[in-house]
Structure 1
């Protein structure tokens, strides 16, 4: 295996008439996808893109995304997927840092991208639903340009909790192996499957576990340009979706949407959840209502992404992120990098063929993240005697209240049990006496009458005295990242 695009050419040769993509009832076959990508690859070469050059992709979940993604890889380039909602200043940083020569951009975002390209000189190419507009030339490149296993295939910028985002360099081998394991071991995916493509393809979960895994298996990817619970419900029914992949807020949104009451979800076989911890109440209610199983796993941009999962052929332990996948080792370590005993809290460290090559042009950050061959995730967890990991919290999110550790996730699990609570984020607030105090922002279900005092009293009855929130405030909605993951770091308490 060298160039990742070999997965596309192999599947296209094996089953050219199979639908690779499904959008609004229309199909794009693997044969068509290969031809369109080959034309993009030829045009890239004609416009000066050589192997190893970076090409940015600023597109929603439309067929053009896979077309240009595979086109860049066929040409031997490096794909730099970017969130379409970025502003000019952020785009400037991504373009300049990556040195992107060309950017394929959705028409709605062209003005912002053009402004963001002024310093880097990146060429902005307007790209419609099926591919680039006015971008022709060169002979189609149907055979993948030779690359080495350790050559970078994709640079994924991580949403830095501190400072500027860093570009995680994922190699052809990283993504190839992770996609294979996602398809075969976790989802048991075959060419008969229809995969729900509601995760953004510019995000590592949607890119590897969705697009790349479906291509490896020859499955069909049913795309939703932007996640919306009503659209998701319709696609599950119309396309007879067998595998859904999502973050917990997506499952909660479908569950709480009136359209899910009578929906036909009989085709759904497996649901994979990642990105953040799945509240047990949401998992139980979703499975009961739609009659399917949710398998929860864990990963990061830096690990291609999948590191652990509840496997279909092993006991599922709800509330855990499962066991390390083949080719990957995980352990919980203390501040000195020493493994902690079973059942004790430590930072998850990961080693294996899924761990990134490093951060693009940031050797110091790479050395800090991977000091001894083990990637430090910043996530705190425990491991049981069967190798199942349970996330306790982000190292940075832990609240230190009067010398006692409070893990927001644990408090959130209790608050989610309140029948009026739709979403919650528990955060630390400065406290003169205790250093930090526990606080919570909640979004309530429509028409509910619960007050902050009710929620405090409810939580106080069910959790240790030092853990329950002393302050609760109600918000319309919680801040979320591109995949719909709740962003605790952006939760702000009202000043009053």
Structure 2
């Protein structure tokens, strides 16, 4: 007999154990675990009646409202595979996802129906709204799946070409959610978690939604994140757990500056991008809490490492590997094999364990490049010290090579983030006829700060090595953010050359 495992069990078991506990708060709606599971089984039956079969892929385009978990777990309960769709994609981009995934159906929320319907027509795929699935007689239970069967296909951002579908198994996702809440973090069944990270994204989906439901805690939905909206909702609903990316922490800090009352946050987790230590320190002081920074990728379900109470925390690091996962540093310039480096040496972060994906959908060559000698090659550069703490230095592709010297943007960003006039900063390389690449800092001024670019260059020269400080500074009102609130450096690189520089320094 083959062992079975399904991500659907996360919701099914909490409905069995805590039927009357509130699973989701969405505006005025308070949906219990029993109710949410019954609705998921109803959606599953409706999808079956539309011809969806176990193993079929079903695309889901939905904001952070209760319809997302209804449809997500409904698709899984039927034994089908969820293909979450980014909300900010154009119709042709959504159509690409539908075609590439060979989606049988698109479940599209009315809030994004214009793009979804147009995409479905382009791809020749049937589209239904969540409300269309609400009237069937619910399934008796969920379909059995094998642990290595696909559960979710997450599309990468496509920074190095067309987006690729990372295939995550039931084993990947059940274990990642379980380890996150029972081993890696001090999560509790009494938690009230703010669900503001996009649920179509791996961080919000696994750490936020699946982790919360695995524990039997409560997820408070926030469809459109702003600092003020988040603080209002936290206070109104007694939220005590926050998961966010660095730009969200900055937004909360800005909003907190004008308030007398702040929520009592017991547990805060940061991921998705490197959190400047200066922001971590300011947030911990303002909210009287501790941020636990972690690290992961779509291909690792996502969590690979995090600062954990068991091992202690160290600011500026992403902590230790989670239970059952190995994270090491390999020689970055060697592509065809994995050569592990000793503690303290800089190289490419490599990962193996229950969290590593099954491969890229329909792309065996790309999978073979990504998984070498049983290790997933992350594309991130970092170190692992003698105490086991992992530090991410930068993406391999983000390194600036100025005059033959490697400059790591994150190191420069950490320094500039401590300037009192800087609210946000992103450092990129721009073409330069003399040095090959020049270092450019794109900065957002702090509220009320009259940021003078020349002064920032001079300040940087005092705090950074001669080959590291930015010779070019652009002052902007805001940095471009993706749907998961991460800074889009590729967008900056496209636009920054066309911008009039605030200052350009040509010395060597």
TM-score tier, shorter chain, comes to over 0.9
1:41 to 41, 44, 50: 44
Other structure's SS at 1:436 match: strand
Partner of 2:505: none
Report whether the alignment pairs 1:12 with 2:9.
no
Partner of 2:155: 157
After superposition, the C-alpha distances for 1:291-317 in whole angstroms (9 at most, x for unaligned) are 011000000000000000100222210
Report whether the alignment pairs 1:304 with 2:301.
yes
Greater shift, 189-198 or 32-41, is seen at: 189-198
Report whether the alignment pairs 1:330 with 2:327.
yes
Other structure's SS at 1:287 match: helix
Task: Output the TM-score relative to the length of structure 1.
Answer: 0.97
Aligned residues of 1:110 and 1:124 also touching (Cα < 8 A): no
Partner of 2:504: none
Report whether the alignment pairs 1:428 with 2:429.
yes
Partner of 2:283: 286
Deviation of the 1:401 alpha carbon: 0.7
Deviation of the 1:462 alpha carbon: 0.3
Deviation of the 1:241 alpha carbon: 1.3
Partner of 2:506: none
Deviation of the 1:133 alpha carbon: 2.2
Partner of 2:371: 370
Partner of 1:129: none
Distance change in 2, residues 1:241/1:258 (3 Å) = closer
Q: How does 1:85-484 map to 2 (within 5 A)?
A: 85-126=88-129, 132-135=130-133, 139-258=137-256, 261-266=259-264, 268-334=265-331, 335-336=333-334, 337-484=338-485
Once residues 346 and 261 of structure 2 are traced to their aligned partners in structure 1, the CA distance between those partners, rounded to angstroms, is: 41
Aligned residues of 1:79 and 1:154 also touching (Cα < 8 A): yes
Instruction: Quote the RMSD (CA, aligned, Å).
Output: 1.3
Deviation of the 1:391 alpha carbon: 0.8
Aligned residues of 2:43 and 2:136 also touching (Cα < 8 A): no
Consecutive unaligned residues in structure 1, runs of 5 or more: 127-131
After superposition, the C-alpha distances for 1:253-290 in whole angstroms (9 at most, x for unaligned) are 00011566322322x11100000000111100101011
Deviation of the 1:25 alpha carbon: 4.8
Deviation of the 1:188 alpha carbon: 2.5
After superposition, the C-alpha distances for 1:18-53 in whole angstroms (9 at most, x for unaligned) are 000012253110011011111100000010000011
Other structure's SS at 2:260 match: coil
Other structure's SS at 1:48 match: coil
Once residues 376 and 256 of structure 2 are traced to their aligned partners in structure 1, the CA distance between those partners, rounded to angstroms, is: 43
Once residues 169 and 135 of structure 1 are traced to their aligned partners in structure 2, the CA distance between those partners, rounded to angstroms, is: 26
Other structure's SS at 2:79 match: coil
Other structure's SS at 1:441 match: strand
Once residues 136 and 255 of structure 1 are traced to their aligned partners in structure 2, the CA distance between those partners, rounded to angstroms, is: 40
Deviation of the 1:494 alpha carbon: 4.4
Residue-pair matches, total: 490
Once residues 391 and 397 of structure 1 are traced to their aligned partners in structure 2, the CA distance between those partners, rounded to angstroms, is: 12
